[in-house]
Chain A
Amino acid sequence: MEIAKAVVGKANDGKVNTVVQNMRLPRVLTAIVGGVGLGISGCVLQAILHNPLASSSTLGISQGASFGAAFAIIVLGAGAQGSTVAAMQFSNPLLISLCAFVCSMGVSLIILALSRFRKITPEAMVLAGVALSAMFQGATTLLQFFANEVQLASVVFWTFGDLGRTGWREVRLMAVVVLAAALYFILSRWSYNALESGEQTAVSLGVNVNRVRVVNMVICSLTAAVIVSYLGIINFIGLVAPHMVRKVVGNNHTYLLPGSALMGAILLLLGDLAARTVISPVILPIGAITSFLGAPLFLYLLFKGGDRS
Chain B
Amino acid sequence: MMVVKRLEFGYSSCCSPILQDIAFEARPGECLAVLGNNGAGKSTMLKCLNRILSPQKGTVYVGKQDMLQMPLNRVAQSMSFVAQGSQNSRLTVYDMVMLGRKPYIKWGIRREDEELVASLLRQMGLENMAVRFLDELSGGEQQKVMLARALAQQPRVLLLDEPTSNLDLRNQYEVLELVKQVSREHEIAVVIVIHDLNLALRYCDKFLLLKDNQVYDYGGEEIITAQSIGEVYQIAVKIHTIDEAKVVIPQFQSCS
Contact = CB atoms under 8 A, between A and B. Distances in A.
B235 interface: no
A117 to B, nearest CB: 15
B95 A207 contact: no
A115 interface: no
A196 interface: yes
A258 to B, nearest CB: 14
Interface in A158-210: 187, 190-191, 193-194, 196-198, 200-201, 203-208
Nearest to B51: A203
Interface residues of B, number: 33
Given A190-B105, A198-B83, A204 B76 contact: yes
Interface stretch (B96-104, B167-175, B210-218, B247-255): B96-104
Contact of A250 (B72, B73, B91): B91
A204 to B, nearest CB: 4
Contacts of B83: 198, 200-201, 204
Contacts of B77: 206
Given A200-B47, A205-B102, A252 B95 contact: yes
B52 interface: yes
Nearest to A193: B99
Interface in B138-186: 153, 159
Contact of A204 (B52, B71, B88): B52
Most buried by B among A190, A200, A201, A205: A205
B233 interface: no
Interface string B75-92: 111011101000111111
Interface in B44-91: 47, 50-52, 71-77, 79-81, 83, 87-91
Contact of B102 (A187, A206, A252): A206
Contacts of A206: 71-77, 102-103
A196 B102 CA distance: 13
Nearest to B84: A200
Nearest to B77: A206
Interface in A247-276: 250-252
Given A194-B99, A194-B102, A309-B135, A204 B91 contact: no
Contacts of A207: 72, 102
A140 B163 CA distance: 53
Given A193-B95, A200-B47, A201-B81, A251 B153 contact: no
A132 B105 CA distance: 38
B103 A250 contact: no
B24 interface: no
B153 A197 contact: no
Given A190-B102, A193-B95, A309-B135, A204 B50 contact: yes
A251 B89 contact: yes
B133 interface: yes
A47 to B, nearest CB: 12
Contacts of A187: 107
A246 B153 CA distance: 27
Most buried by B among A191, A198, A204, A250: A204
A240 B28 CA distance: 49
Contacts of B72: 203, 206-208
Contacts of B74: 206
B50 A196 contact: no
Nearest to A194: B102
Contact of A197 (B71, B79, B89, B92): B89
Nearest to A197: B89
B161 to A, nearest CB: 9
Interface in A214-262: 246, 250-252
A4 B90 CA distance: 42
Given A196-B90, A201-B81, A206-B71, 10 more contacts: A187-B107, A190-B105, A193-B102, A197-B89, A203-B50, A204-B159, A206-B74, A206-B103, A208-B72, A250-B91
Interface of A: 187, 190-191, 193-194, 196-198, 200-201, 203-208, 246, 250-252, 309
23 contacts: A187-B107, A193-B99, A196-B89, A196-B90, A197-B87, A197-B99, A198-B83, A203-B51, A203-B52, A204-B76, A204-B81, A205-B103, A206-B77, A206-B102, A207-B72, A207-B102, A208-B72, A250-B92, A250-B95, A250-B133, A252-B91, A252-B92, A252-B95
